[in-house]
Amino acid sequence: MNLKTFVLIIALLPSCWIVAFAQNVPALLQQGKDLLDQNKTDEAVACFEKVLQLDSKNYDALVFLCNYHFLIGQKLLDSIETAYLVHESPTRMQVTQFNMDLKSIYATCYSKAEACLIKAYLIQRNDHLDNLAGQIADFKERIGILAPGAKKSWFIRTLLPLSRIP
């Protein structure tokens, strides 16, 4: 074994210990929360994803991952909008790139948030999830994934099974 391989193995061991340390759902949830308290977001995300591998309907993990992916998307959106709004008269190429970036944010962040949101929402409805669902629907409408004016029907069709509509 050469030195480079040894260093790589040593570097990967702590992340393996995190996963191997706690294999049951309550322990993984607590570990994820502890990692968040220590500002170790990436490790916390890995814990909550592991929770979902063990229990795909775990509400706490679903809500955390929904919020995480949504906030990452918001951060990316703020970044590209700031750069785009600097241009008083953007060129067609800049407009096209901006629109492609918006769709990329949906594909990489908001779609993941939406998937977790739908699963969490079917377990327990709350105002926070309602708000996130509305913001995601607004974004989908903005980028052309959702037809204008279809937000309400999308919201009902996607998030509320017919048996749960009040």
Return d(Cα 126, Cα 134) in angstroms, integer. 12
DSSP structure class, residue 2? -
How far is it between the farthest Cα atoms of the chain? 64
pLDDT of residue 20: 42
Dihedral through CA 98, CA 101, CA 106, CA 107, nearest 10?
150
Burial of 76 (0-12, 13-18, 19+ CB in 10 A): middle
pLDDT of residue 155: 56
pLDDT of residue 10: 46
Q: What is the pLDDT of residues 71-103, one digit of tens each?
A: 999 999 999 999 999 988 999 999 999 999 999
**Segments in the chain below pLDDT 70:** 1-22, 147-166
Both structure tokens of 130: 């309602």
> Taking the domains of the chain in order of start, what are their residue ranges?
1-55, 64-166
Return d(Cα 54, Cα 64) in angstroms, integer. 16
Burial of 113 (0-12, 13-18, 19+ CB in 10 A): buried
Return d(Cα 24, Cα 104) in angstroms, integer. 35
pTM confidence score: 0.76
Cα 59 vs. chain centroid, distance in angstroms?
A: 14
Burial of 133 (0-12, 13-18, 19+ CB in 10 A): buried
